[in-house]
Structure 1
């Protein structure tokens, strides 16, 4: 018998009590309602017999503030209509719970008290009181039961002409000041086995009023509109614990200006102040094994953040670095042959690294390495024949995994095939899937727009000139087909990104090598935008660069940035690489200059709540990590 639902006012009657959400559960605050509003005639539940059952269970779920000494509060009571005679009631006091009832045969009132029940302040508790003859059992939050042997409960407690009051004894004094979520009378049965055990014993549920389980504010629904509030506690300072008891509570990180909410397991970001890039700080000097042509930053689950450096020298090879205590440290050396690029990818929760080896030895082999969880190292998985390979790209289409290699040249011939490989889930190896004609291929970039998948290659040199077309391919009918040719000048990198629903490709043009005359290094690199009407990429912005070798797109807060790696101006390798900020109609505007030496690659990464850029040098062992300072 759901006593709480029975007592709630019907539409048009007294104002309903307030719903309060606390620690992830909702309850009714009864203190604001009139005593008579939350009551009903006992005859509504005792329809066939006026006698209160001799054996029964009472189940109540409530949350109480700290009770003052000598203060009593009633969870419910049954009183005669025409007098103040208490037939029975359930009452709380400090660390005690009392069950009161009148005993007609004895001609007086009996009180069954449980001492030291230890009901924590401001926490949900579910109390089960089971009465059978001379025995009474109290179970709190499905814990150890407290047993009492008392005067037998009367077998003929007549409730005719009485009224049930919820949260009071029909007086202002003794009113229940907490939140009530559940109040159930179960005749003839012990309710404990029905509720226990449970994963959340504080709010163990037998029958909860529907209004406490549905969306609290539904103005269009019939019935009374319940006033609603959520009880919130905001914690400041260091990260507090987050578990089931803290669910729904807030924590404000003053230093980072971020508001978090506890979901019962972890702190989830609720609101955060948009960070703005202030300046760039020199953070770490990273001396690699030899000159570094490429860097790849990646994460391995349960292991952390790593960086792979593609180093020129075969011995000791290329270095894998791990982010430890706020900086990169050498983790593993892998033997490579003038490595030009690394690419990290995952298949079926397994992590792989593939290296592009470019040294011309027979046979020319690039290698795929697999992360061994037992050895906690990368181990050789598969070798693939390549030709002066400069780049790998990994991608997935329709749950199939692919790799594509940029074969730069074979002997002196730059007009050769680059190869797309497809993962065979049976053999656990990559197999040749398709070949594409390229001219001095330097870089591949994969991207998707809606249901369409694209590959774009940076063609650098055709044996005579760098003024050639690079090509965009589209996936159709199970293979890549030509989509668009774009004129480029010694293209070394493509960067795909999108801003506010607009789609862009940026190409890094490295040098102009004409049929005759000297090479030119200070030339324009170009940002292209997809025109949805013509379904082609069109020129959006030209940016003067100096033998550009890499573009990297990243965001800080709500701002979007591009950083270009300038490597050579025809005289010096000591140049400024430049960070550009997106400014809408103005396009990309230069905002920061970074001194670099022989810059070859930029990578952006976030860790420990901070943003970083790392660049590699193709003319020095020194690579640098920059910290992006925000405000």
Structure 2
């Protein structure tokens, strides 16, 4: 039976446009290639009949779903092998388009978290595996440039009793050398989640969020990334940087604490505003005309034994130097959101990963945004 998931009957700005039949969706990455607008949804797991509900259970040997925008809807056009996909990122390198997946594990219990994460390359409209990278509990890739150097940062690691790793198991940055990714710098985080690369005053910074290690903003010193400012000792989930009103801003999500907006004072980021309580996992920022909008996606409350998955996530608008909530919308184990424009309209696709009874078969939702009502 299809689980229709939550619907918000009082929506004013967000109206449901399409549902996508996903299972443990961990990302909603919108990107463009020469043949149009695409969406890729990495999936964590599928439900195993008879298996007790467990947000860390299920069959991990699943596919990522690849869609193309056709006739004002997303149409599934491919499925790419992608065991326990936690994240997907597209990037261009050497004139080609790539899709990098962070793969958490394989199997259906017991699981193997030493996995070769998959990097696909587009080749005449087909996606082929270009390279595999040894990873341990991989969570997110982040592609960025520092001057003429090309990097791919990997958030990874787990500290679950009984798990061992064949490599160092720490979050790491790779550099593109002769067409291949080579390990450049090990940062040391033991359960990484997220990255954000940004520049302020000509300096490169790299935000890194971690669950059991400190969440830190690093600064490039010309040779490597060095710790610059710590934001939380534990439970970090994501960073997002933007510029507005002549200032530099950084949003930080913490799963077991407040999400917080910080402002750059010329040397450090200072706390400026709370962006809501526990449960925050991911941000999406977009502009419409002169307006600035922020989405905070909420995941769960509580730990794996008894998580609450049916939460409200928020749409904010920038007003007088602060973000104000202009609408809340329901998510069920929400993990990601991506804004896009198509056919002269604004949309937001939201990845939902868990039902209220902690099963994986939960629809992800594409909303149309009536931003004129904001």
**Alignment TM class, shorter chain as reference:** 0.7 to 0.9
- The superposition leaves residues 35-64 of structure 1 with CA deviations (integer Å, 9 ceiling, x where unpaired) of xxxxxxxxxxxxxxxxxxxxxxxxxxxxxx
- The superposition leaves residues 15-40 of structure 1 with CA deviations (integer Å, 9 ceiling, x where unpaired) of xxxxxxxxxxxxxxxxxxxxxxxxxx
- Which residue of 2 is the match for residue 491 of structure 1? 280
Q: CA deviation at 1:480?
A: 1.1
Of 129, 134, 148, the match for 1:349: 148
Q: Is the 8 A contact 1:439 1:460 kept in 2?
A: no
Aligned partners of 2:209 and 2:125: how far apart in 1? 34
- Which residue of 1 is the match for residue 336 of structure 2? 550
Of 313, 316, 321, the match for 1:528: 316
Of 535, 538, 542, the match for 2:324: 538
Q: 1:584 to 1:390 in 2, by over 3 A?
A: closer
Q: CA deviation at 1:392?
A: 1.4
- Which residue of 2 is the match for residue 397 of structure 1? 200
- Which residue of 2 is the match for residue 437 of structure 1? 232
Q: 1:557 to 1:452 in 2, by over 3 A?
A: farther
Say which SS state the counterpart of residue 196 (structure 2) adopts. strand
Aligned partners of 1:473 and 1:513: how far apart in 2? 26
- Which residue of 2 is the match for residue 283 of structure 1? 77
- Which residue of 1 is the match for residue 253 of structure 2? 458
Q: Is the 8 A contact 1:438 1:459 kept in 2?
A: no
Q: Is the 8 A contact 2:119 2:131 kept in 1?
A: yes
Of 267, 280, 302, the match for 1:513: 302
- Which residue of 2 is the match for residue 406 of structure 1? 209
Aligned partners of 1:400 and 1:350: how far apart in 2? 15
Aligned partners of 2:234 and 2:313: how far apart in 1? 19
- Which residue of 2 is the match for residue 377 of structure 1? 180
Q: Is the 8 A contact 2:115 2:137 kept in 1?
A: no
Q: 1:518 to 1:308 in 2, by over 3 A?
A: closer
Q: 1:489 to 1:433 in 2, by over 3 A?
A: closer
Give unpaired runs (5+ residues) of structure 1: 1-254, 257-274, 411-416, 462-467, 588-631
- Which residue of 2 is the match for residue 295 of structure 1? 88
- Which residue of 1 is the match for residue 265 of structure 2? 476
Superposition misfits of 4+ residues, deviation over 6 angstroms: none
Say which SS state the counterpart of residue 328 (structure 1) adopts. strand
Q: Is the 8 A contact 1:489 1:510 kept in 2?
A: no
- The superposition leaves residues 375-399 of structure 1 with CA deviations (integer Å, 9 ceiling, x where unpaired) of x111111111113111111111122
- Which residue of 1 is the match for residue 172 of structure 2? 367
Q: TM-score, normalised to structure 2's length?
A: 0.73
Aligned partners of 1:396 and 1:531: how far apart in 2? 24
Aligned partners of 2:148 and 2:317: how far apart in 1? 35
Q: CA deviation at 1:316?
A: 4.6
Give unpaired runs (5+ residues) of structure 2: 1-34, 37-68, 106-112
Q: 1:512 to 1:498 in 2, by over 3 A?
A: same
- The superposition leaves residues 281-332 of structure 1 with CA deviations (integer Å, 9 ceiling, x where unpaired) of 11111012x21111111111x3311111101145551111111111321100
Aligned partners of 1:509 and 1:482: how far apart in 2? 21
Indicate the RMSD between aligned Cα atoms, in angstroms: 2.4
Of 493, 496, 501, the match for 2:290: 501
Q: 1:285 to 1:583 in 2, by over 3 A?
A: same
Aligned partners of 2:71 and 2:326: how far apart in 1? 25
Q: 1:557 to 1:347 in 2, by over 3 A?
A: farther
- Which residue of 2 is the match for residue 574 of structure 1? 361
- The superposition leaves residues 551-603 of structure 1 with CA deviations (integer Å, 9 ceiling, x where unpaired) of 1111114321111001112232112111111213446xxxxxxxxxxxxxxxx
Q: TM-score, normalised to structure 1's length?
A: 0.44
